[in-house]
Structure 1
Amino acid sequence: MDQDRPAEPGPARLRALLIGALDSAEHEALADSLHQRQVRVRSLASCADASAELLGEAGLVFVFVGARAGGQAQADVLPLLRLAGELDVVPIVAYAEQACAAALLEAGCVDYLLTPFSVAQLDALLHRQRAARAAQHTQVYRSPASRRLLAMAQRVAATQAPVLITGETGTGKELLARYIHRVGSGEQAPFVAVNCAAIPEQMLESLLFGHERGAFTGAVNAQPGKFELANGGTLLLDEVGELPLGLQAKLLRVLQEQRVERLGAQRDIRLNVRVIAATHRDLRAEAEAGRFRADLMFRLDVLALHIAPLRQRSEDILLLAHRFIERNAPGENPEQLLTSASRQALLAHDWPGNVRELENCLQRALILRNGLFIQPRDLGLDDSLLAPPEPSADAGHAALKASGKWAEYQHVIDTLRRFGGHKTKTAHSLGMTPRALRYRLSAMRAEGVAIQLAPSHSGGFA
């Protein structure tokens, strides 16, 4: 049994599934409250009724957990997390079961409601969800580690406490910082990023804190610093582990007092800035070695987010690859463009350069591909992973039938090239007669498909 509650048209509408006993007063009250807040609600009696199709239509899932034991609650909710993909799951728990809510958050739920919930609590949750949805296009996540990270980032965005983002080079630390900024402060608030490793020490202090005219030789005009420019928004201190010790003490003072004083100034400026620091270094180890101030580390590391390397979250690789293809070749269909062998090669690679390496790999492949699709050789990865076995006639026929129309055309072209334009051998490998192959090639040409061999074999075509 389920029910639909259509909502009036309005901005930023959400679609929500509400799962729990349909005849309960709490279920009815939440459904009515969501409807009043321009959320389209579909109610289900149990998690077992939530099909992948229904989950795909929703943007948010509320699950009444109530006072059930933590193990039973997780048994109900975890299958939803596996089915839901990028869907946000919000358990609704009793006050006495907040430990259960914490475990569900660790499992990948983005938020939770306590019953009986207040109007303010629900409004705050919906505000966070709408802000997160508006910023969602910047993030790609499917693996459990990525889901947990994004859920934590959404909760962190609701605070003004300093955030420390750690992870290997190329994992996307600045992208996560921008996501936190968009969710917490919105698109209109300023976002200022400073790469602490790329600026000479003698310039960095002036850049961060600003200076007055005449503060030093060459200071012909007063300049606001990055802290001032970020006022009302977010300042990202990228590669903060590279900051010189002298500047670390001054940064600590600014963070403690929420005030900044320009070089050469007689007054300070009050700040309202969210500070996000990012580094690929282990700041605790740096502090123990005397290269980073321990008091600054504790000030920055109030809320820590660690981005796992790409090799540890392989479920995200193809999703990211599709996103990069869409970004760099808007007219292409990523599902068609990547062959099965290319997808296997992407999944098999270790990605020491992480997401940045993956994006560069796809950009290069889009430029260098020789044909309709991206082949393993276009990716420029380890050759030992790219040589597919020679297909039998049965295997070739199966691959041909299993592919879509354009994948089928590319498969025919590749097979023809492998046999140097010899149509009889090509037809046998594809599981068809030479006459059928000639008809297939003629149909391909009629659809505008360019059928060419590599230059050294160009004489093989009639």
Structure 2
Amino acid sequence: MIVVGCPNSRGYSILVDSLYQQQQEVECYESYAQLTSASLAQASLVFTFVSGFPAPLLLSDTAHLIRHAAHISVIPVVEYAEQDRAAALLESGCVDYLLAPFSAAQIHALLQRHEAAASAQESFVSCSQAGRRLLAMAQRVAVTRAPILITGETGTGKEMMARYIHRFASGESAPFVAVNCAAIPEQMLESLLFGHERGAFTGAVSVQPGKFEMANGGTLLLDEIGELPLGLQAKLLRVLQEQKVERLGGHKEIPLDVRIIAATNRDLTVEVAEGRFRADLMFRLDVLPLHITPLRERQEDVLALARRFITQYAPHEHTGCLLTDDACHALLRHDWPGNVRELENTLQRALILRKGLFIQPGDLGLAPCDQSERALDQQDASFCDGKAALRATGKWAEYQHVLETIRKFNGHKSKAAQSLGMTPRALRYRLSAMRDLGVPMPAV
């Protein structure tokens, strides 16, 4: 546990004393510059007092710490008049903040949330601003039983996010039940979800509880919800509204206490417009939306994830130096159409097929880059920089086209989205990802 701030700051002594009383190991520093690599390696939580630090320096130092120490959660300590600075720090990747004056009970509650998040996170690795904000948002929505809709491309980790929310809110003891709505025939899906009584249909020789009942007290993940047949959508809507389920062939309503998480790689607004999805069900599910941006739009996570997969599949090897610099360049240049799932498969294959001790670019099996991309890499040795990675992958020109289209329509996002062939919601996600990577936004 690390505390950064002036000892004269309001609440400083209360925070330090409370941490000691809760048997926490505490190190105190007056500025980020005094932090040592050894202390950062051992810490998981850093409290930083906002008062007394210039805003630009505080933001840049905090972002740098988050980017280079992804395992650390940074908690700003702010006063009421400084909440705008707290909001800026949350945008930069901080997961929570502490408002002064505070009590020992509030610190205890914050530490409990941090421990729950750390145990829930498992392999959901993220050091990018977009990823850290997503985890912070997931922690906030996890405390409610309202339906959660997770959207994102195939392979971005939607089920992993659902499990993170479940572990954070309910722990390991509560049931987590996942149903892939696209993988089960329609004739079986209704019985699987709602259960059936004996004799409800031919072959129903015994009572079978459904997935809703199995998930009672925990979480039910409806994966690929966009594939759910229209007939079942109406029945699902009723279950969500009534919080009760009735087995096929039965007459008894069974009360439910289930957190519903739906996941899809489709744009449900488009599905509704084309008549494949019920608008009322979409509004019922879309109470707390979470969008996972594709891996190509959060390049800062590529190497962190790669090292996580190397640790997973080669636990006895030295993870830090197994990837050569050229292999890191190759990973950052790739567009990752299959997202995190593709990255995991690539690293697993490279560990098996590598020709030596280290992983070289040829071991990854990725498409080779052209000479212009290689020249860009040589010009900027800091391949972890988000903007350099954008240029290396050719995304910079694509993002400039997006911005030029917005300027063409004088900042009218709906018209710009129509011209670009995407929905306004997709354009908002694209602009958010661009902002995370440092792309200058138009003043319109």
2:183 aligned partner, one-letter code: A
2:179 aligned partner, one-letter code: V
Does structure 1 residue 335 correspond to structure 2 residue 351? Answer: no
1:277 positional shift: 0.9
CA RMSD of aligned residues (A): 2.6
- For the 8 Å contact 1:164–1:302, the answer to whether it is kept is yes
Q: Please name the residue that 1:317 is paired with.
A: 302
1:297 positional shift: 1.3
Q: Please name the residue that 1:157 is paired with.
A: 142
**Partner SS, residue 39 of structure 1:** coil
Match of 1:59 among 36, 44, 61: 44
1:309 aligned partner, one-letter code: P
- For the 8 Å contact 1:69–1:100, the answer to whether it is kept is no
**Partner SS, residue 182 of structure 2:** coil
Partner Cα separation in structure 2 for residue 374 and residue 253 of structure 1: 53
Q: Please name the residue that 1:190 is paired with.
A: 175
Distance 1:264-1:107 versus aligned 2 partners, 3 A rule: same
What does 1:1-400 correspond to in 2, within 5 Å? 16-24=1-9, 26-65=11-50, 74=59, 77-384=62-369
Partner Cα separation in structure 2 for residue 324 and residue 69 of structure 1: 38
Distance 1:381-1:80 versus aligned 2 partners, 3 A rule: closer
Distance 1:71-1:257 versus aligned 2 partners, 3 A rule: farther
Distance 1:303-1:52 versus aligned 2 partners, 3 A rule: farther
Moved more, 368-377 or 62-71: 62-71
Structure with more relative contact order (C-alpha pairs < 8 Å, separation 6 or more) = 2
Q: Please name the residue that 2:384 is paired with.
A: none
Partner Cα separation in structure 2 for residue 385 and residue 175 of structure 1: 35
Partner Cα separation in structure 1 for residue 344 and residue 67 of structure 2: 26
Partner Cα separation in structure 1 for residue 146 and residue 88 of structure 2: 23
Q: Please name the residue that 1:409 is paired with.
A: none
1:262 positional shift: 1.2
Partner Cα separation in structure 1 for residue 256 and residue 301 of structure 2: 38
**Partner SS, residue 142 of structure 1:** coil
What does 1:393-412 correspond to in 2, within 5 Å? none
Distance 1:318-1:38 versus aligned 2 partners, 3 A rule: same
Deviations 1:358-392 (A, max 9, x none): 11112222222233333322222114569x99xxx
- For the 8 Å contact 1:65–1:93, the answer to whether it is kept is yes
Distance 1:340-1:50 versus aligned 2 partners, 3 A rule: closer
Deviations 1:264-321 (A, max 9, x none): 2221111111111111011122222222122211221122211111111222212222
Calculate percent identity across the aligned residue pairs: 65
**Partner SS, residue 122 of structure 2:** helix
**Partner SS, residue 28 of structure 1:** helix
Partner Cα separation in structure 2 for residue 67 and residue 245 of structure 1: 58
- For the 8 Å contact 1:111–1:155, the answer to whether it is kept is no
Moved more, 138-147 or 42-51: 42-51
**Partner SS, residue 40 of structure 1:** coil
TM-score (norm 2): 0.78
Distance 1:371-1:25 versus aligned 2 partners, 3 A rule: closer
Moved more, 102-111 or 370-379: 370-379
Gaps of 5+ in 2: 375-444
Partner Cα separation in structure 2 for residue 195 and residue 311 of structure 1: 26
Partner Cα separation in structure 1 for residue 308 and residue 32 of structure 2: 31
1:94 positional shift: 2.4
- For the 8 Å contact 2:67–2:127, the answer to whether it is kept is no
- For the 8 Å contact 1:201–1:244, the answer to whether it is kept is yes
1:257 positional shift: 1.9
Distance 1:242-1:62 versus aligned 2 partners, 3 A rule: same
- For the 8 Å contact 2:219–2:260, the answer to whether it is kept is yes
TM-score (norm 1): 0.75
- For the 8 Å contact 1:236–1:277, the answer to whether it is kept is yes
1:91 aligned partner, one-letter code: P
- For the 8 Å contact 2:11–2:102, the answer to whether it is kept is no
1:58 positional shift: 1.6
Distance 1:337-1:102 versus aligned 2 partners, 3 A rule: closer
Deviations 1:189-229 (A, max 9, x none): 11111001111111111111111111111111111111111
Deviations 1:393-420 (A, max 9, x none): xxxxxxxxxxxxxxxxxxxxxxxxxxxx
Partner Cα separation in structure 1 for residue 46 and residue 319 of structure 2: 29
1:142 positional shift: 1.7
Distance 1:68-1:359 versus aligned 2 partners, 3 A rule: closer
1:332 aligned partner, one-letter code: E
1:220 aligned partner, one-letter code: V
Deviations 1:341-371 (A, max 9, x none): 2222222111111111111112222222233
- For the 8 Å contact 1:165–1:305, the answer to whether it is kept is yes
Moved more, 69-78 or 190-199: 69-78
1:40 aligned partner, one-letter code: E
Partner Cα separation in structure 2 for residue 260 and residue 67 of structure 1: 56
Q: Please name the residue that 1:441 is paired with.
A: none
